[in-house]
Structure 1
Amino acid sequence: MPRDGTATRARILDAAQRLVIDNGFNATTVDAVLAAAGTSKGAFFHHFASKQDLAAALVDKYVAADLEMLELGLAAARAAGDDPVERAVAFVRWYEEQADEIMAGTTGCLYTSVLAEMELVEAGTSDPITKAVVVWREEFAALLRDALPARSDVDVDALSDHVWVTFEGAFLLARTTSDPGHMRRQLRVMRVLLESLLRG
């Protein structure tokens, strides 16, 4: 009976994700991925037609996890009750409270590593990232519109994007300073500013 290769594929993807985040896609060789995953070249090419195919699979995996994380934040917002302001604040607070766990075991974000590689952008490998960013914007913007019904001076989409920008900036700051606590602190600042705007 043939063995299920799901575990091997997952191991390759996990190893590749760590290496790409740390070193970039072009600097990550297939041999380095194989060494980190503890598997063979034959196993690699059984699961991935090429290094480019690996990149696409990595993006799909990361985007799926990212959208699951979004849904957890939305669930926290729904659990906060009927007050639209409380729901919007609870969304950001949930990530603030999970920040240390989010940062555990990572030095950065795969999105940044992929978007820095023009060959991946031009090949369309980054397209799922763009779609994920739009989903984040639309979902949090819906919470913000409920919380800011009378504020025509606030660009709700831009404010929603700012949460995503805070995540990416915090990853960069954490990597630059080797201090993963920046994620929690930056999200706290974001929450405090958001509360000030929504309750002001």
Structure 2
Amino acid sequence: MASRGQETKELILANTEALVLERGFAGTSIDEILKLTGLTKGAFFYHFKSKAALARALVERYWQQDYAMLEEFSRRADELSEDPLQSMLIFLKLFEEFIEGLEEPPAGCVFASYVYEFYQFDDGIKQFIADGFKQWGKMYQQRIEKIAAKYPPKIAIDAGELAETLMCIIEGGFILSKSLCDTSLTARTVRQFRRHLQLVFEP
């Protein structure tokens, strides 16, 4: 069970994330966070010594939650099939179903929001974001390499570039789905990537 302090910290982070995805980090003030959470400045600064400390905690929280979700999809996919191609297709299908189950388009990606405002952040946060993207890419690349080892591709491919393509599809899908108010857009683009893998690798 979370302590009261942990609950307060999570309240601040959850509400700050919503504000950042809506108006950016620079456009989010501590006063707005306090108004949204109903907390005092004393309560806020007890948990975060500065807005910079909040920025770091927010990006770490986003990474932990997002990577945990992808690891869960990966675990479930591997349980359902030991075949590397089928496991990857299931993994992508699970992600599609998650997106399609949302009532509203994804609010966006905290990493992307920070990248748009890189001038706001120190080198530590910039490196954390870069390392996070690399870790996501590594997960996808390792899966694609296992597929290629078992199923010779019908066209020349680069596992790293395919992994980058998938990340671009997901990140770009978030932007477009929010702009066009289309909840299923990201799922559709991931579905096209899944079909591309089938065309490239299926015997």
The two structures have a TM-score, normalised by structure 1, of 0.91
Summarize the Cα distance change of 1:168–1:103 in structure 2 as closer, same or farther, 3 Å threshold: farther
Question: Which ranges of structure 2 fall in alignment gaps of 5 or more residues?
Answer: none
**How many Å separate the matches in 1 of 2:143 and 2:67?**
16
More displaced 10-residue stretch of structure 1: 48-57 or 79-88: 79-88
Name the structure 1 match of 2:182.
Answer: 179
The yes-or-no answer on 1:69 pairing with 2:72 is no
Query: Are the equivalent residues in 2 in contact too, given 1:59–1:126 (CA < 8 A)?
Result: no
| 1:43-93 Cα distance to aligned partner (Å, 9 max, x none) | 110100111110000000000011102201211321232222111211211
**How many Å separate the matches in 2 of 1:78 and 1:121?**
38
**How many Å separate the matches in 2 of 1:41 and 1:118?**
26
Question: Which ranges of structure 1 fall in alignment gaps of 5 or more residues?
Answer: none
| 1:105-133 Cα distance to aligned partner (Å, 9 max, x none) | 74211111111112345432132222222
Query: Are the equivalent residues in 2 in contact too, given 1:115–1:121 (CA < 8 A)?
Result: no
> Matched residues, percent identical?
28
Specify the SS of the correspondent of 2:160: helix
| 1:12-37 Cα distance to aligned partner (Å, 9 max, x none) | 10110000011000010011111111
Q: Which amino acid aligns with 2:35?
A: A
Name the structure 2 match of 1:154.
Answer: 157
1:81-120, aligned counterparts within 5 Å? 81-101=81-101, 104=104, 106-120=106-120
Q: How much does 1:158 deviate?
A: 1.0
Name the structure 2 match of 1:132.
Answer: 132
What is the RMSD of the two structures over their aligned residues, measured on CA atoms? 1.9
**How many Å separate the matches in 1 of 2:9 and 2:144?**
40
Q: Which amino acid aligns with 2:145?
A: R
The two structures have a TM-score, normalised by structure 2, of 0.89
Q: How much does 1:177 deviate?
A: 0.6
